[in-house]
Amino acid sequence: MRAGSKIETVLFDLGGVLVHFAGFQSLPELLLAPLSPDEVRRRWIASPAVASFERGRLTPDEFAGRFDAEWGLRCSRPEFLSQLLSWAGDFYPGARELVAEVRQVLPAACFSNTNELHWHKNFTAYGIPQSFDQVFASFELGVVKPEREAFELVISRLGLRPEAILFLDDTEVNVEAARSVGLHSECVRGVDDSRAALTRWGVLG
């Protein structure tokens, strides 16, 4: 375990850390303007339409309209929503087992920027929220990462000191925001990275 640290809860992001998310690879073919997956990722994180949807402020139909106006779709809006629904998948191989392993020694929670479609149609169907001790979905909280308010709200609901929480996310800006409010945080991609970080912090042997 890192010197001076005592982790009491592990807080996981979902997409890209423990769960399949194909949006950044699939979205370019739906757009009028050619964008690489990396460019899509950067724009998605900064998108006002996406942020509003993930705050729970837009219906799916309203989101499709806002997204089309902001990005420019080559497909119909219903087709876009159908494709959107297919992007969020199940746990990566070994991810469910990793969370269960963590829960043998510490509580495990998840904090995801997500929307009502992915949460209710995909994640819940795969049993993903049920695999954690506590779950925090941005569209239910009304705030999104990397906003300071989002992390402060989650910290409050966990009922812990920030330094007692280890947060794993696949987006550097979220990791930096988490550190700014006192969480221990690392940028990881997938199960192997997550396990390595948990080992470095002494959560797993």
What average pLDDT does this structure show over 48-69? 98
Query: Which tens digits make up the pLDDT trace of 138-169?
Result: 999 999 999 999 999 999 999 999 999 999 99
Q: For the chain, give the secondary structure using H, E and C.
A: CCCCCCCCEEEECCECCCEEECHHHHHHHHECCCCCHHHHHHHHHHCHHHHHHHCCCCCHHHHHHHHHHHHCECCCHHHHHHHHHHHEEEECCCHHHHHHHHHCCCCEEEEECCCHHHHHHHHCCCCCHHHCCEEEEHHHHCCCCCCHHHHHHHHHHHCCCHHHEEEEECCHHHHHHHHHCCCEEEECCHHHHHHHHHHHCCCCC
Q: Tell me: pLDDT of 4 over 70.
A: no
pLDDT at 67: 98
pLDDT in tens, 13-32: 999 999 999 999 999 999 99
pLDDT in tens, 176-189: 999 999 999 999 99
For the segment 92-107, the average pLDDT, to the nearest whole number, is: 98
Peptide bond into 146 cis (omega under 30): yes
Its pTM surpasses 0.95: no
CB-CB contact of 201 with 5 (8 Å): yes
| Whether pLDDT at 1 is above 90 | no
So what's the pLDDT on residue 5? 64
What residue ranges define each of the domains in the chain, with the CATH number in brackets? 9-20+89-200 (3.40.50.1000), 21-88 (1.10.150)
| Separation CA 70–CA 55 (nearest Å) | 17
